[in-house]
Amino acid sequence: MMGTLKTEPARTRLDLLAPPVAAAIERWPDEAPVDVDEVLVAAIDAELADTAAFCAAYEVGLEESANCVVVAGKRGGETRYAACIVLATTRADVNGVVRRLLDARKASFAPMDDAVELTGMEYGGITPIGLPAGWPILVDSRVIATPHVIIGSGVRHSKIALPGPALGALPGATVVEDLARPA
């Protein structure tokens, strides 16, 4: 248990997950370095889903909370999307590291409507589990160095808790040194 969250295995509470997240949990590979039973979910008050409010209300440290931000990189009229996973104590280096990794002339946070439509998840709850196939998942190395982290669940009324290294092992994930800068 992290903070005051009451967690249970996510595979037993698919009702607390967005449909693409639930589907990813259901097809979690047996050979994954982290067992699916280590992916936990906890119901929360949806009004407290934003990181600072969540951490204060549920006694979770910002250094244990990870954010997933969707970035859109553009070059030559083509838009490429990626998810960046960074600790709440940091901010993704969108205009530097992320832009270069996407081989884009310009990179910015994806518009909210685009992020919601493309992921099938609620804004403020977007998570790297269950993202569209082919999207790169860029994980700051500090995240995988964290024994356990809290991330979104695809909806605002719950959170997922899992070992930090599991995020670096997701399909399409790349661990990146200094993907983020201190906030």
pLDDT of 60-95, one tens digit each? 999 999 999 999 999 999 999 999 999 999 999 999
The Cα 104–Cα 52 span in angstroms is 31
pLDDT in tens, 32-41: 889 999 999 9
pLDDT at 2: 85
Average pLDDT, the chain: 96
Q: Pairing state of beta strands 137-140 and 78-87?
A: parallel
| pTM reported for the whole predicted model | 0.95
Q: Any idea which architecture 8-182 has in CATH?
A: Alpha-Beta Complex (3.90)
pLDDT in tens, 1-18: 689 999 999 999 999 999
Query: Contact 152/28 with Cβ under 8 angstroms?
Result: no
Q: Where are the domains of the chain?
A: 8-182
Would you state the structure tokens that stand for residue 101, as one six-digit string?
């990794």
The Cα 64–Cα 77 span in angstroms is 38
Does the pLDDT value for residue 47 go beyond 90?
Answer: yes
